[in-house]
Amino acid sequence: MSDLNSEYKRQIGGDHYVRQAIQPWQAMEAWFTQEQFKGFLLGNTIKYLARFNTHAPGKGGLDDLRKAAHYLDRLILAVEAQANEPIPTSCP
């Protein structure tokens, strides 16, 4: 398991996202609700696991398992962060 900063610096299959000032998943995290963002991470984890056995050129194999693990690591960090948030108190 890694921390959030290392997740933003790590990319599987190229460097086209890490070269950007703001990565797409950083924008999504800022724009989406927590539940939407966790759904995005879970969906991509499932996508790469499902694609693992694909025989299309450039798809499947070990890289897709690594991509799935990358999204799963980020999902775990999001769930841990949400679990550590203080519960808001209601206004009188």
> In this predicted model, which residue has the larger pLDDT, 65 or 21?
65
Written in H, E and C, the secondary structure of the chain is: CCCHHHHHHCCCCCCCCCCCCCCHHHHHHHHCCHHHHHHHHHHHHHHHHHHCCCCCCCCCCHHHHHHHHHHHHHHHHHHHHHHCCCCCCCCC
Looking at residues 64-81, what average pLDDT do you find? 94
Q: For the chain, what are the domain ranges?
A: 24-83
Q: What is the spatial distance between Cα 49 and Cα 71, in angstroms, rounded to a whole number? A: 11
The answer to whether 72 and 46 have CB atoms below 8 angstroms apart is no
Confidence of residue 71 (pLDDT cuts 50, 70, 90): very high
Query: In this predicted structure, what is the pLDDT of residue 52?
Result: 93
The pLDDT of residue 56 is above 80 = yes
Query: In this predicted structure, what is the pLDDT of residue 20?
Result: 62
